């Protein structure tokens, strides 16, 4: 086979065979295919797409490009939850201890922040001592003992995705449906879970900006997961506004803990309860209404919070910070952003909110950047709220005062204030089984 022929076939709109796709992935991971040819193929896929068969073959090739994990030593049904990425999305920190406290096992591999979106691993590393890089045996031992462990994706898992993602990131080919599907599901399927619930975000803060595109993404991921023998479900959820009020690593851990105590923001609580209930239903713990009751009780009686604290301790973190989140240090500087005019917050460009948080130091602009764990944004007004001129719309936190001007400008530009109260949109827009 020749890479030239494969690129040409896709450029001209042809469908690649499974053998061609596997040959490409194998050659790319082994360093036999150069980045410029892989980039050309990604761009051809971006413009010409891939059908479901090609996307399945690409996903399985990504999955098989490295180590496949074996969780058979973990007793009980194993579940995973994955978000396609959003702003202020700390749902994994809330949902996974809830379901673990209710008897399903969570052996979770999570990612770091990507572009304007945050990542669970960065958030957990805001807890002092928390280790996100455990040996596999220790990881399985904690899952068996506590019910849950969360670690970063180890380097040997789906290495094709690591290479391809870095390439897509710099060649404007991230937001391609077959490439996103194969990237996410390739990684998920390399782990050994029985059930996967996907939180597919839609709107201005997500990679897929319209509900139609997000639904298509969800349908393909669910179908490919089923083809790999997994129990699958996807929720299409709103990312036209940040989730909760906190954006930034330690701010989000604190908000997640408040939510586990039953004192979290309404939207975040609603989505976490829905995701946890769907996971439990998929794991056959009861019908949806029964699962929802169990979830609310686990929050009320603090068993979910207790499970989270136990996981933190087992992974080397200081659980006192979970039981007393006021211990998280505050950023050195804070700055209030005020409304320039009065009216309703009609809409926000959520991606820009994520970028503003990056500008404050909460994420990375280059792979080498060190995250400022206390940096971020605490919103004071969200879509639908009324503000007077001069009212606070957000508080910015950073270790470096000079970062405020750019973040404030980004935030103000992204916040549309108008006369009419916008219609309230549901948080869960659709469910794909
Ligand atoms: N998250 C991933 O892991 N991959 C993508 O392509 C997009 C979001």
Looking at the fold, whether 218 and 337 belong to one and the same domain comes out as no
| CA-184 nearest atom, ligand 1 | 3
Q: Which of 10, 78, 81, 82 is catalytic?
A: 82
Residues in CB range of 114: below 8 A, 6 or more apart? 85, 165
> Would you call 318 a catalytic residue per the annotation?
no
Q: Tell me the average pLDDT across 129-139.
A: 95
Closest to 114 in 3D by CA, of 201, 207, 191, 243: 207
Q: Tell me the average pLDDT across 376-384.
A: 98
Looking at the fold, whether 171 and 102 belong to one and the same domain comes out as yes
Q: Tell me the average pLDDT across 125-144.
A: 96
- With the most atoms of ligand 1 within 8 angstroms of its CB, the residue from 87, 113, 175, 180 to mutate is 180
> Would you call 82 a catalytic residue per the annotation?
yes
CATH label of the domain that carries residue 38: 1.20.970.10
> Would you call 187 a catalytic residue per the annotation?
yes
- Gyration radius of the chain's alpha carbons: 21
> Would you call 193 a catalytic residue per the annotation?
no
pLDDT tens column, 139-194: 999 999 999 999 998 889 999 999 998 899 889 998 899 999 999 999 999 999 99
CATH label of the domain that carries residue 350: 3.90.1170.30
Looking at the fold, whether 102 and 210 belong to one and the same domain comes out as yes
Q: What is the DSSP string of 114-134?
A: BTTB--HHHHHTTSTT--S--
Within-domain flag for 70: no
Looking at the fold, whether 292 and 356 belong to one and the same domain comes out as no
Dihedral sign computed on CA atoms, order 15, 227, 99, 135: negative
CB atoms within 10 A of CB 327: 13
Position 152 scores a pLDDT of 92
pLDDT tens column, 215-228: 999 999 999 999 99
Q: Is the CB of 180 under 6 A from ligand 1?
A: yes
Determine the distance separating the centroid of ligand 1 and the alpha carbon of 180, expressed in angstroms: 5
- Cα–Cα distance measured from residue 376 to residue 366, given in angstroms and rounded to the nearest whole number: 18
Looking at the fold, whether 144 and 262 belong to one and the same domain comes out as yes
- Cα–Cα distance measured from residue 116 to residue 46, given in angstroms and rounded to the nearest whole number: 21
Looking at the fold, whether 98 and 241 belong to one and the same domain comes out as yes
Closest to 89 in 3D by CA, of 263, 312, 240, 225: 240
Within-domain flag for 370: yes
3-class SS of residue 328: coil
In this predicted structure, the answer to whether residue 365 has a pLDDT above a threshold of 80 is: no
Query: Model pTM?
Result: 0.94
Within-domain flag for 60: no
Q: Is the CB of 184 under 6 A from ligand 1?
A: yes
User: Rounded mean pLDDT of the chain?
Assistant: 96
Looking at the fold, whether 30 and 154 belong to one and the same domain comes out as no
Position 342 scores a pLDDT of 97
Domain that holds residue 10: 3-49
Looking at the fold, whether 253 and 139 belong to one and the same domain comes out as yes
CA distances from 405 to 355, 393, 396, 409, 420 (A): 13, 15, 10, 6, 29
Within-domain flag for 425: no
Q: Which of 187, 310, 319, 403 is catalytic?
A: 187
Q: Are 54 and 15 in contact (CB under 8 A)?
A: yes
> How sure is the predictor about 364, in pLDDT bands with cuts at 50, 70 and 90?
confident
Give me the residue label for tokens 């209404």.
289
Closest to 36 in 3D by CA, of 156, 170, 181: 170
Within-domain flag for 62: no
Percent of the chain residues topping a pLDDT of 70: 100
pLDDT tens column, 253-304: 999 999 999 999 999 999 999 999 999 999 999 999 999 999 999 999 999 9
Beta-bridge partners for 337? 394
Within-domain flag for 56: no
Closest to 128 in 3D by CA, of 348, 327, 262: 327
Position 111 scores a pLDDT of 85
- Cα–Cα distance measured from residue 265 to residue 415, given in angstroms and rounded to the nearest whole number: 20
Looking at the fold, whether 206 and 221 belong to one and the same domain comes out as yes
pLDDT tens column, 200-247: 999 999 988 899 999 999 999 999 999 999 999 999 999 999 999 999
Q: Tell me the average pLDDT across 310-328.
A: 96
Determine the distance separating the centroid of ligand 1 and the alpha carbon of 84, expressed in angstroms: 7
Q: Which of 270, 293, 323 is the last residue of a domain?
A: 323
pLDDT tens column, 72-112: 999 999 999 999 989 999 999 999 999 999 999 999 999 88
> Would you call 168 a catalytic residue per the annotation?
yes
Determine the distance separating the centroid of ligand 1 and the alpha carbon of 227, expressed in angstroms: 20
Determine the distance separating the centroid of ligand 1 and the alpha carbon of 306, expressed in angstroms: 31
- Cα–Cα distance measured from residue 119 to residue 4, given in angstroms and rounded to the nearest whole number: 36
Looking at the fold, whether 143 and 232 belong to one and the same domain comes out as yes
- Cα–Cα distance measured from residue 10 to residue 36, given in angstroms and rounded to the nearest whole number: 15
Beta strand pairing call for 415-418 and 148-152: unpaired
CATH label of the domain that carries residue 318: 3.40.1030.10
Within-domain flag for 59: no
Within-domain flag for 206: yes
Give me the residue label for tokens 């003992």.
145
Position 207 scores a pLDDT of 84
Looking at the fold, whether 139 and 260 belong to one and the same domain comes out as yes
Q: Which of 28, 49, 70 is the last residue of a domain?
A: 49
Q: Whose CA is nearest to atom 2 of ligand 1?
A: 184
pLDDT tens column, 109-120: 998 887 788 899
Number of domains in the chain: 3
Q: Which of 301, 323, 345 is the last residue of a domain?
A: 323
Looking at the fold, whether 318 and 355 belong to one and the same domain comes out as no
Position 367 scores a pLDDT of 67
């Amino acid at each position: 086979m020749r890479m030239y022929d494969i690129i040409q076939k896709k450029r001209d709109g042809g469908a690649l065979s499974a053998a061609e796709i596997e040959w490409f992935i194998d050659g790319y991971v082994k360093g036999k295919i150069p980045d410029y040819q892989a980039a050309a193929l990604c761009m051809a896929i971006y413009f010409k797409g891939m059908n479901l068969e090609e996307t399945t073959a690409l996903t399985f090739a990504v999955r098989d490009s490295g180590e496949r994990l074996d969780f058979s030593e973990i007793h009980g049904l194993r579940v995973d939850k994955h978000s396609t990425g959003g702003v202020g999305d700390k749902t994994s920190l809330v949902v996974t201890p809830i379901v673990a406290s209710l008897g399903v096992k969570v052996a979770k591999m999570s990612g770091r922040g990507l572009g304007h979106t945050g990542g669970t691993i960065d958030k957990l590393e805001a807890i002092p001592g928390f280790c996100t890089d455990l040996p596999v045996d220790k990881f399985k031992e904690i899952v068996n003992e506590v019910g849950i462990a969360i670690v970063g994706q180890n380097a040997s898992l789906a290495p094709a995705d690591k290479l391809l993602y870095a390439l897509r990131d710099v060649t404007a080919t991230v937001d391609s449906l077959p490439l996103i599907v194969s990237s996410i599901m390739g990684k998920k399927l390399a782990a050994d879970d029985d059930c996967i619930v996907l939180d597919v975000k839609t709107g201005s803060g997500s990679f897929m900006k319209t509900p139609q595109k997000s639904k298509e993404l969800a349908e393909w991921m669910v179908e490919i997961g089923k083809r790999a023998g997994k129990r699958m479900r996807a929720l299409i959820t709103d990312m036209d506004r940040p989730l909760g009020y906190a954006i930034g690593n330690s701010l989000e851990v604190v908000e997640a803990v408040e939510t586990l105590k039953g004192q979290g923001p309404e939207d975040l609580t609603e989505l976490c309860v829905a995701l946890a209930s769907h996971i439990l239903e998929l794991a056959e713990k009861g019908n949806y209404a029964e699962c929802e009751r169990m979830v609310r009780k686990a929050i009320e009686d603090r068993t979910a919070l207790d499970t989270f604290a136990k996981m933190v301790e087992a992974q080397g973190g200081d659980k006192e910070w979970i039981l007393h989140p006021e211990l998280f240090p505050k950023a050195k500087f804070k700055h209030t952003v005020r409304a320039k005019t009065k009216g309703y917050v009609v809409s926000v460009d959520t991606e820009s909110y994520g970028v503003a948080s990056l500008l404050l130091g909460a994420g990375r602009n280059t792979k080498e950047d060190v995250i400022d764990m206390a940096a971020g944004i605490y919103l004071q007004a969200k879509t639908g709220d009324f503000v007077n001129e001069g009212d606070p719309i957000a508080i910015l936190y950073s270790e470096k005062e000079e970062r405020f001007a750019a973040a404030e400008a980004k935030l103000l530009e992204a916040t549309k204030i108008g006369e009419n109260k916008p219609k309230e949109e549901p948080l869960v827009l659709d469910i794909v089984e």
